[in-house]
Amino acid sequence: MIDPPKSVRRFAVAEESRFLSHALIAAGLPEADAGAVAEAMLFADLRGVDSHGIVRLPSYIRRLRAGGINPRPQIRLVREADATALVDGDNRMGHLVMRHAARVAIEKAERHGVAWVGTRGSNHAGAAACYAMMPLARDMIGLYMAVANNNHMAPWGGIEPLLGTNPIAIAVPTLTEPPIVLDIATTAISFGRIRNAADAGERLPEGLVMDYEGRSVTDPAKADHGLLLPIGGYKGFGLSLMFSLLGGVLNGTATGRDAVNIENEAVPGNTGQAIMALRVANFAAVEDFKRRADKVARDIRTSKPMPGVGEVRYPGLNAHRTEEERRRSGIPLRTSFAASLDKLAAELGIASLAPL
Amino acid sequence: MIDPPKSVRRFAVAEESRFLSHALIAAGLPEADAGAVAEAMLFADLRGVDSHGIVRLPSYIRRLRAGGINPRPQIRLVREADATALVDGDNRMGHLVMRHAARVAIEKAERHGVAWVGTRGSNHAGAAACYAMMPLARDMIGLYMAVANNNHMAPWGGIEPLLGTNPIAIAVPTLTEPPIVLDIATTAISFGRIRNAADAGERLPEGLVMDYEGRSVTDPAKADHGLLLPIGGYKGFGLSLMFSLLGGVLNGTATGRDAVNIENEAVPGNTGQAIMALRVANFAAVEDFKRRADKVARDIRTSKPMPGVGEVRYPGLNAHRTEEERRRSGIPLRTSFAASLDKLAAELGIASLAPL
């Protein structure tokens, strides 16, 4: 194998940031927008959401160049009330649409206690936790849901792919513990993990992927064309459906049978998201609440592990530790992927990404 | 076996309603409150959430009589802002606390577009969908989450029961299709289903229940003392945790290691819930949205089923059909349970529940 999973190089955070910005500027984004997208992509790479960071750069660049994403859009609030807004992203980079939506939600929640902002005309926005965590700095809880553009999941009992991996992220502020942050897809496995299994020559467990006859697929090479199964059977299907209704249909985006196939890179995906910000001070003294959240986090961390498990972890703890480690030691990228970035850099006329 | 699962009798809706009201009045509830609780309990029995309807009556009555639930409380808004409120239920019946909270949320969402109301000092409120569906009549989406009082789930990787079956319900209005309504626990199986498997002499599938050493339990007789496993491994654990933070910790209720053991029927449980109402008209023309929701529902219903599956169903469809059938043919209750209600009726000095 040319590229075993462990063949990685490390890259400094500042250097990856520089490279992402320059690449996006070369693809037509204004400088400030490029910086903001770079920051959101770095967020994913720092917190270990490796499938949603720099690894997406080549496809973003292709879509920007083919016209599938608008580099110079007119983003606007289509509808607005005290505690709600609907953002039309005008097919801007999803990271920018969502950053804007999250800021609107936070401002509105500051005044009214809670706010819900939906987006349409949006695009892939990277790691879900990135937006759910934005309200934390203002002592708010964040909740984010997104409609994935590609449908790889069937309704429970069916075999027609009508739903995406539609993720949810929820972030809760703490005092001294790392924040409690859940960021999950509603499918039992992601294509990233399927590819990892293929690379490692491992079979997949039963019940994660099925073929179009409803039979379980355990060969990762065949899983690429299979249907992803939801978490908890009909429960995960129901969650995915609800997130597509709240994050998509409500906002006027294309979903289900009407979803846009974004394999054509010139076609806007019209995807959607939703973010809610909930102001802690409307329910409790902020420090009291954070202390109680700390205790919840600590009670989990210090709870009795299963035989063979070193430590019980709460959602967000591992991502926090990964970020600390990667800020110190750099972000690991596969050698083969890093080489492909060199080619991209040459095409865009920018300096290559230099390893540590 | 004295009571095989199929030994049931049917009871008319009006008669069950009468019986529930009279029993609750006899246990000390004011007449209007008794009627409202009866309605919420009937909701569960009509929609097939059989574990959350009349089957709970004996335990509610025991708690009301032992002082664990307050029949004559002072319910009040502890905190209130434009779009948020915190309700202290003063240990009232959970159904009444939540009905009040949902009404407050709906009124606030009417004015501000979205509202979030939390509860504390609450109790078991029955079927989650009951509250998530209240906003539907006002063309709003409802979202409800609750903290289950008893901890039967461990954090992922752990074996200490720190979490409950913490459910979520989301309801979306439609035009001609039955509304899309998800109502799920975050555990992979409920004790109700475990008891059904025991009654039927069936083994449980792997991965639903484990013992305190982390070993899978498939004998339903042993599962009663086991730990329930979450949907999707760490994902369902994360969801359960988040619902306990948003529905409980934020509102100042007892959760995790501090949860109240409500096996002592004289002790208030101080449980919590949260409800959000989201006004559709703030995002789309209401009829347009409902038409799109109808199409989503229909696309699922008419999608290609797996071999062996008759029809693909969306969440809420089955419950709707069950309600139609039970309104016509009566609510089925196990003969042995119905007999136990006769004893309860005698104790309370009310007329027995008369079968059809």
Q: What is the pLDDT of residues A198-246, one digit of tens each?
A: 888 899 998 899 999 899 999 998 888 899 999 999 999 999 999 999 9
Find chain A residues with C-beta within 8 A of B315's C-beta. Answer: 234, 237-238, 241-242
Fold (topology level) of B8-187+230-294+317-348: Ribosomal Protein S8; Chain: A, domain 1 (3.30.1370)
The minimum CA-CA distance between A17 and chain B, rounded to whole Å, is 30
Mean pLDDT of B234-256: 96
- Which pLDDT score, from 0 to 100, does residue B200 have? 85
Its sign, for the CA torsion B310, B312, B315, B317, is negative
DSSP B205: P
The residues near A58 (Cβ < 8 Å, ≥ 6 apart) are A340, A341, A344
Find chain A residues with C-beta within 8 A of B306's C-beta. Answer: 157-159, 213-214
What are the C-alpha distances in Å from A258 to residues A108, A150, B235?
32, 11, 28
Q: List the single residue in B with minimal CA-CA distance to A212.
A: B306
| Alpha-helical runs (H) found in chain B | 13-26, 31-46, 57-66, 94-112, 129-132, 191-200, 220-223, 234-247, 286-301, 317-329, 335-348
Average pLDDT in chain A: 95
Find chain A residues with C-beta within 8 A of B153's C-beta. Answer: none
Q: How many other CB atoms sit within 10 Å of the CB of residue A281?
A: 16
- The dihedral region occupied by A85, where left means phi > 0, alpha psi between -120 and 50, and beta the remainder, is beta
What are the C-alpha distances in Å from B285 to residues A146, A251, B105, B308?
21, 10, 21, 39
How far is Cα A118 from Cα B126, in angstroms, rounded to an integer? Answer: 31
Residue A289 pLDDT > 60, yes or no? yes
Q: List the single residue in A with minimal CA-CA distance to B171.
A: A242
Residue B259: pLDDT band with limits 50, 70, 90: confident
Judging by DSSP bridges, how do beta strands B84-88 and B114-122 pair with one another? parallel
What confidence tens digit (pLDDT) does each residue in A61-107 have? 999 999 999 999 999 999 999 999 999 999 999 999 999 999 999 99
Residue B5: pLDDT band with limits 50, 70, 90: low
Residue A3 pLDDT > 80, yes or no? no
Residue A1 pLDDT > 80, yes or no? no
Look at A250 and B160 and tell me if their CB atoms are within 8 Å: no
Look at B116 and A113 and tell me if their CB atoms are within 8 Å: yes
Mean pLDDT of B57-79: 95
State both tokens at B163: 């979490």
The minimum CA-CA distance between B190 and chain A, rounded to whole Å, is 12
* A331 vs B257, residue with greater confidence: A331
- Residue B208's nearest CA partner among A241, B197, B50 is B197
Residue A6: pLDDT band with limits 50, 70, 90: low
| Interface-testing mutation among A151, A303, A309, A314, with chain B (most B C-beta atoms within 10 A) | A303
What confidence tens digit (pLDDT) does each residue in B33-47 have? 999 999 999 999 999
Find chain A residues with C-beta within 8 A of B283's C-beta. Answer: 79, 84, 86, 118, 250-252
Q: How many other CB atoms sit within 10 Å of the CB of residue B261?
A: 10
Residue B117: pLDDT band with limits 50, 70, 90: very high
% of chain B surpassing 90 pLDDT: 86
Residue B187 pLDDT > 70, yes or no? yes
Look at B184 and A232 and tell me if their CB atoms are within 8 Å: yes
Question: Across the interface, which of B79, B237, B246 has its CB nearest the CB of A141?
Answer: B246
The minimum CA-CA distance between A65 and chain B, rounded to whole Å, is 31
Average pLDDT in chain B: 95
Cα torsion B37, B41, B42, B46 to 10°: value is 150
How far is Cα A44 from Cα A60, in angstroms, rounded to an integer? Answer: 15
Residue A5: pLDDT band with limits 50, 70, 90: low
The residues near A140 (Cβ < 8 Å, ≥ 6 apart) are A106, A109, A173, A277, A278, A279, A280
The answer to whether residues A68 and A149 touch, using CB atoms and an 8 Å cutoff, is: no
Mean pLDDT of A161-183: 97
Residue B186: pLDDT band with limits 50, 70, 90: very high
| Interface-testing mutation among B106, B210, B245, with chain A (most A C-beta atoms within 10 A) | B245
How far is Cα B43 from Cα A115, in angstroms, rounded to an integer? Answer: 30
User: Tell me, what's the ipTM?
Assistant: 0.96
The answer to whether residues B206 and B192 touch, using CB atoms and an 8 Å cutoff, is: no
Look at B241 and A278 and tell me if their CB atoms are within 8 Å: no
How far is Cα A281 from Cα A321, in angstroms, rounded to an integer? Answer: 28
- Which pLDDT score, from 0 to 100, does residue B6 have? 65
Judging by DSSP bridges, how do beta strands A114-122 and A84-88 pair with one another? parallel
- Residue B251's nearest CA partner among A140, A280, A172, A276 is A280
Residue A290: pLDDT band with limits 50, 70, 90: very high
Tokens 């990233």, located at residue: A192
How far is Cα A203 from Cα A187, in angstroms, rounded to an integer? Answer: 18
